[in-house]
Amino acid sequence: MLKDQTVRVVGAMSGTSLDGVDAAEIVTNGHVILEFGESAFHPYTDAQRDVFKSALGKWHDDDIADVSELVETVHAQILSQFSQADWVGFHGQTLAHDPRGRGTHQAGDGAVLAEVLGKTVVWDFRSADVQMGGEGAPLAPFYHFALAKKMGATAPIAMLNLGGVGNLTWIDPSLPHPESDGALLAFDTGPANAPVNDVMQARLGLPFDEDGALAAEGAVDQGIIDAFLQHPYFFRLPPKSLDRNAFSALLDTVADLSNADAVATLTMTCAQAVGQAVTACPSPPSCVYVTGGGRQNATLMGMIRQACDVPIAPIEDAGFDGDMLEAQAFAFLAVRVAKGLPTSAPGTTGVAAAIGGGTVSRPSI
């Protein structure tokens, strides 16, 4: 029966940092992680990245057919490598996210991929949550709960993903299910890699600040950060979520700073926003495990340790792959969607009740 079925599934994630597509395979029944499989990364070319940047903020009724086709093409290329996978979890490329307004928009059609790959594809993970009054993000927390169980955690921990935007999941692994009352609290912390990446690209033609080398050379303008942290978003109670460009005006505040000072200030902004977020947890986590590209930025990690009063460690310290965790998450969620299990709850997205969602597309042959 599908209820008890164990599935080898590959998930794909293309985040707001616009670096490329991660794909990772797991074996799961939608409750526990039984095995980690192969993984792969397909970097976007500069031309592809420019296409996606030009489409940021656009919606379904805009002319984005070429963007959707590019998303589908790139994903088909990487997902076709996973011949052993039974199912696919396809997130698509987020172009716009406005849960209190127009909704959420991920470009790419899972039904097209199902035909191309000849596999069942689960996709459109966020829409149902938004339609039910939730933020539609973050969605990885249910997978974070499974990871906490797999690592044998007993005290509360947190997982911090540093992509284009930062998001934090606080987890109480003593509770039986991710939808259990009080098991999870999740929310976006604020800008993470996106502002730094945008400044690096605009000023130096580089996609990111490798290892935080430029930030380490700069001086932080604390006045800019203090003013920024007065933004109403930081006074809203979680759960809450952000669009990649929600704080695009932040770039204007560093326009007159040198390259190094601008990048140092933006990096510290991310760190201090994380520090504020940790104080919003129901209880101090025994450790914050960091995933995503930001964990490879030594300067950023040092600033986060400075901003927080709890231990900070890369997720690899717990035995997991921080580059592929979000791709694995959408593999895990795909199985939950197909089995009719919840994928978000009041503590993760603010939705009124635990809810599933997503679309299951099967190939016609």
Question: Is residue 144 included in any domain, yes or no?
Answer: no
118 and 203, same domain (yes or no): no
26 and 102, same domain (yes or no): yes
242 and 93, same domain (yes or no): no
What residue type is 63 in one-letter code?
D
Residue 268 and residue 262 in contact, taking contact as beta carbons nearer than 8 Å:
no
Question: Is residue 284 included in any domain, yes or no?
Answer: yes
pLDDT tens track of the chain, all 365 residues? 466 789 999 999 997 778 899 999 999 999 999 999 999 999 999 899 999 988 888 887 788 889 999 999 999 999 999 999 999 999 999 888 888 787 889 999 999 999 999 999 999 999 999 999 998 888 999 999 999 999 999 999 999 999 888 999 999 999 999 999 999 999 999 999 999 999 999 999 998 999 999 999 999 999 999 999 999 999 999 998 887 677 888 999 999 999 999 999 999 999 999 999 999 999 999 999 999 889 999 999 999 999 999 999 999 999 999 999 999 999 999 999 999 999 999 999 999 999 998 999 999 97
Question: Is residue 217 included in any domain, yes or no?
Answer: yes
**Amino acid 150: pLDDT:** 97
Whole-number Å distance between alpha carbons of 323 and 296 = 10
Whole-number Å distance between alpha carbons of 205 and 330 = 32
Question: Is residue 336 included in any domain, yes or no?
Answer: yes
Whole-number Å distance between alpha carbons of 265 and 216 = 10
> Which domain range does residue 175 map to?
152-318
Question: Is residue 145 included in any domain, yes or no?
Answer: no
314 and 169, same domain (yes or no): yes
**Amino acid 1: pLDDT:** 43
223 and 310, same domain (yes or no): yes
251 and 336, same domain (yes or no): no
CATH of the domain at 39: 3.30.420.40
What pTM, to 2 d.p., does this model score?
Answer: 0.92
64 and 195, same domain (yes or no): no
Question: Is residue 305 included in any domain, yes or no?
Answer: yes
242 and 337, same domain (yes or no): no
**276: Cβ contacts below 8 Å, ≥ 6 apart:** 189, 190, 229, 234
**Amino acid 56: pLDDT:** 85
What are residue 141's phi and psi, to 5 degrees? -55, -35
304 and 202, same domain (yes or no): yes
Question: Is residue 139 included in any domain, yes or no?
Answer: no
**Amino acid 3: pLDDT:** 65
175 and 118, same domain (yes or no): no
**Amino acid 64: pLDDT:** 86
Q: Measure the CA angle with vertex 26, ends 23 and 28; round to 5°.
A: 140
**Amino acid 163: pLDDT:** 87
Domain count, the chain: 2
309 and 331, same domain (yes or no): no
279 and 353, same domain (yes or no): no
Question: Is residue 104 included in any domain, yes or no?
Answer: yes
Burial (CB count within 10 angstroms: exposed 0-12, middle 13-18, buried 19+), residue 339: middle
Q: Is the dihedral of CA 331, 99, 232, 58 positive or negative?
A: positive
Burial (CB count within 10 angstroms: exposed 0-12, middle 13-18, buried 19+), residue 37: middle
**Amino acid 183: pLDDT:** 98
Burial (CB count within 10 angstroms: exposed 0-12, middle 13-18, buried 19+), residue 131: middle
